[in-house]
Structure 1
Amino acid sequence: MATRALILVEGDPTGNGLLYVQAAQRLGLHPITLSADPAQQDYLAAEGLEAIRLDTDNLDALIRECSHLGATYDIAGITSSLEAFYATIGKLCRYFDLPGPNPASIERCCDKFVQRQLLADAGVPVPAYRLAANATDVKSCAAEIGLPVVLKPAVGAGSSGVRLCRNADEVAEHTTYLLGGQHIWRSSPRILVEEFAQGLYYSADIMGNEVIGIEAAEFGPPPHFVFRQLTFPAPLTDDEYKCIADVSLICLRALGLGWGPTNIEFRWTKHGPVVIEVNPRMPGGPNPKLVRLAYGVDLVTEHVKLVVGEEWDLRRRHSQTAAARNLLPDRDGTLDWIGGDSQATAVPGVAEVKLFVKPKTPIVRKGDYRDCIGHVIASSPTLAQSEAILQRAATLISWSITPFSTLGKQEQSPAPHLAPSAQVAPSKGVNREQETDADG
């Protein structure tokens, strides 16, 4: 009898990639990763996992490789932990008659302009928005909407290329960055210009048509949108929770979603919840781990069950509070050293401490998810206790970054060298004034 295999197209090296591999193994499946560069997923070599190099942007190449693997394995399912490949996953699943998402719905959702149109037509509250193709369009769109505005690529993920622009100079500067060859586009260059919706940030984690829970998050300093701290579940009243859950289900219907995982981001404004983004995939970063710690629901494992045609179980096993602190550098330069992770791990209530970088690594901040150099996760019965544990553990982690010299090839940084104790400052929570200066 052929071995049942789960095909994984690419994987997030610092996010859910390894979680999907581990979930497959727990379910008795043989995970096989298809990747344009398997070395980028360092967990593959570390765990001795099977990986095949090929052009994962080429649907025909993926079909040929899966057909070839089908001669040796019983392919139980195909999926990915990355949004960029989710529409392709849907097409592969349809070709091989396997359970999977609707590729047309995924493609519509991944185009942020089309997504906005569909949501607005369904009566979902969204920020005012315009689509721009060039600098002149961006300038006029920003003037129509009114400053401040958020500029973002029409297709993208992880806050890449997303920036809050508070004045005309910042609008011009970021437009030049996006259209001047520095930003890597996944599609033809189109810029979404959006009203800046101010308010506390929440996101709904959904499987199928069921809202599993809602988390709260805080961002680092503007103008970028890099998560600094995440809390699950969010401290909401019953009415607030119901309001966000109801709007979430309307979003699913409007976009033709409802198979597998969806993550919907909100800002709670003076008018109530406003939808910032609908992501037709599993949330990245530590989110699935927070859900598992808080509720005992393993979203990744339950998703894999759905992918291979098994019945999932989304029942809560317990009720705790889990929180994560991302470690964010405050400058560019060379990482001299980083430490304290073993001491932080020993703090009672800490569930995980992970460092994503090693000494001598160049640190060049991008203003998106790639800026995170590690995280700390804590869990306890109450929000106050989890936050106290997180704070205690995070202050035990320190690092030193030497700014690039003016003669170096990397980006210059005039900031002075900080003492190790000062290096933990980027990992501390933001204040409420900063919260209103960020957008997801």
Structure 2
Amino acid sequence: MARRALILVEGHRSIGLQYVTAAKRLGLHPVTLSADPAQYDYLAPESLETIRVDTDDCDALIRECSQLRATCDIAGITGFSGVDESIYATVGKLCQRFGLPGPDPASIERCCDKYTQRQLLAVAGIPMPAYRLAMDAADVKSCAMEIGLPVIVKPAVGSGSCGVRLCRNVDELARHTAYLLAREPTHGTSSRILIEEFAQGPQYSADTVGDEVIAVGAASFDRPPHFVVRGSVFPALLTEYEYKRIADVSLSCLRCLDLGWGPANIEFRWTKCGPVVIEVNPRLPGWTTPRLIQLAHGVDLITEHIRLVIGEEWDLRRRHTQVAAARFLLPDQDGIFDWIDGDSRAAAVPGIVEVKIYTKPQTPIIRKGDFQDTIGHVIAVSPSLSQTEAILQRAVDLIGWSITPFPALG
């Protein structure tokens, strides 16, 4: 009997191994197609099958999948967006080509363009911050003045908070605009710039599958002007009214953007006017979110996503309610990451379920103000928010590290 293969287009540094493990548990043979398999440190140690291919070239991916079909049964195809969200649209095209369940690529592409997404949400009357699209520095300044400082300035295409900054005055606006316009365009990016009203209030996110809200979590950020996540908790501490408002707006977003298949993630700020949509991501989020949802509610989103991908029946029922939270470890300066200590002691604290360090000693640290700044995380779970937060703090206090600043220039 031919092996049943799960094709993974690219890997993922935080949740890729979880997909591989879940696929094997379901009796599938995972095969990763990647432009650079070496960038995913879990592939070689696990002796996983990989194929080097230009994942920006849909025709090349079709050829590789066609060749794989000669030796195995392709049960499903999925993949990871990373910084380049166009990968997930490519996944949808491959699924259509091979008659497999998958997302609608046109819907994914519309959603990944933040300006197009905003326009569609606006037509549907979804509550959002004021926004404008700019093409050059003069446009950016004009749009910012129309909306009123402070404003959020970010690329129209991208993810992971890359290039996202709060600009509080004209000087910050000019500097960040120059930075965005000077960036070398890559696949999935453009010089188009989105300027948005700064919506102030607590940050929440709703994770959905199909037309169902699975969980709502809360997040906290490091110091402005950047938006680097410092902590995350599931479930968010909400009243019944607040939860219903977020859930209702989330489902309206899915209908408006035609995202009725598969996972999605909707980010909110709860303002004085209620929830406003910051962003809709047409995919399962990475980092600690799937793990926190599993700990909090007993729903394994990764396994159930794979079941959906291969056309099997899924199960999204909540099995329990705990409070799960993550604290991210963030460097306070640039330099050479010398050492880190205390992570094993932190892992031994009762209630801690995971301590993970991403950065190896002697690695240069250059903070970018996005998800790449994180050097590790700690996850805790307990029956209550106060208890979980106390456990996290006890563990984080045991961890220390050293960074030697770069030598001063000149």
* Alpha-carbon contact 1:219-1:227 (below 8 Å) kept: yes
- Quote the offset at 1:16 in angstroms: 1.3
The equivalent residue for 1:322 is 324
The equivalent residue for 1:52 is 51
The equivalent residue for 1:220 is 222
**Measured at CA, do residues 252 and 150 of structure 1 come closer, stay the same or move farther in structure 2, by a change above 3 Å?**
same
**Separation (CA, whole Å) in 2 of partners of 1:330 and 1:80:** 33
| Match among 152, 156, 159 for residue 157 of structure 1 | 159
Gaps of 5+ in 1: 409-440
Amino acid of the residue matched to residue 66 of structure 2? S
Please show how residues 322-341 of structure 1 align to structure 2 within 5 Å.
322-341=324-343
SS for the counterpart of 2:188 is coil
**Separation (CA, whole Å) in 2 of partners of 1:184 and 1:101:** 24
Please show how residues 358-369 of structure 1 align to structure 2 within 5 Å.
358-369=360-371
* Alpha-carbon contact 1:161-1:183 (below 8 Å) kept: no
**Measured at CA, do residues 163 and 42 of structure 1 come closer, stay the same or move farther in structure 2, by a change above 3 Å?**
same
* Alpha-carbon contact 2:155-2:189 (below 8 Å) kept: no
Q: Deviations over 1:156-203 (max 9, x none)?
A: 000000000000101100000000136756233100000000000000
Whether 1:4 aligns to 2:4 is yes
* Alpha-carbon contact 1:109-1:278 (below 8 Å) kept: yes
| Match among 368, 371, 374 for residue 372 of structure 1 | 374
**Separation (CA, whole Å) in 1 of partners of 2:105 and 2:181:** 28
Amino acid of the residue matched to residue 276 of structure 2? V
The equivalent residue for 1:33 is 32
**Given the two structures, how large is their TM-score scaled by the length of structure 2?**
0.98
| Match among 290, 294, 306 for residue 296 of structure 2 | 294
Whether 1:18 aligns to 2:20 is no
Please show how residues 107-256 of structure 1 align to structure 2 within 5 Å.
107-181=109-183, 186-256=188-258
Q: Deviations over 1:91-111 (max 9, x none)?
A: 000000000000000000000
SS for the counterpart of 1:52 is strand
- Quote the offset at 1:113 in angstroms: 0.3
* Alpha-carbon contact 1:138-1:191 (below 8 Å) kept: yes
* Alpha-carbon contact 1:177-1:183 (below 8 Å) kept: no
**Separation (CA, whole Å) in 2 of partners of 1:328 and 1:185:** 28
* Alpha-carbon contact 2:155-2:190 (below 8 Å) kept: no
SS for the counterpart of 1:42 is coil
**Separation (CA, whole Å) in 1 of partners of 2:370 and 2:286:** 13
**Separation (CA, whole Å) in 2 of partners of 1:119 and 1:337:** 46
Amino acid of the residue matched to residue 199 of structure 1? G
* Alpha-carbon contact 2:185-2:191 (below 8 Å) kept: no
**Separation (CA, whole Å) in 2 of partners of 1:370 and 1:157:** 11
**Separation (CA, whole Å) in 2 of partners of 1:84 and 1:323:** 30
- Quote the offset at 1:81 in angstroms: 2.6
* Alpha-carbon contact 2:111-2:117 (below 8 Å) kept: yes
* Alpha-carbon contact 1:135-1:172 (below 8 Å) kept: yes
- Quote the offset at 1:46 in angstroms: 1.6
Q: Deviations over 1:201-242 (max 9, x none)?
A: 000010111000100010000010010000100000001000
- Quote the offset at 1:339 in angstroms: 1.5
**Separation (CA, whole Å) in 1 of partners of 2:36 and 2:71:** 23
- Quote the offset at 1:19 in angstroms: 1.1
**Measured at CA, do residues 64 and 183 of structure 1 come closer, stay the same or move farther in structure 2, by a change above 3 Å?**
closer
| Match among 259, 262, 265 for residue 263 of structure 1 | 265
* Alpha-carbon contact 2:78-2:91 (below 8 Å) kept: yes
- Quote the offset at 1:305 in angstroms: 0.3
- How many residues align? The count is 407
- Quote the offset at 1:12 in angstroms: 1.5
Q: Deviations over 1:278-307 (max 9, x none)?
A: 000001210000000011100010000000
Moved more, 99-108 or 45-54: 45-54
* Alpha-carbon contact 2:156-2:190 (below 8 Å) kept: no
The equivalent residue for 2:106 is 104
CA RMSD of aligned residues (A): 1.1
* Alpha-carbon contact 1:164-1:223 (below 8 Å) kept: yes
Amino acid of the residue matched to residue 181 of structure 1? R
Q: Deviations over 1:33-74 (max 9, x none)?
A: 011111100000121111111111110110000101111110
The equivalent residue for 1:349 is 351
Moved more, 338-347 or 173-182: 173-182
**Separation (CA, whole Å) in 1 of partners of 2:188 and 2:176:** 18
**Separation (CA, whole Å) in 2 of partners of 1:396 and 1:52:** 41
**Separation (CA, whole Å) in 2 of partners of 1:48 and 1:194:** 45
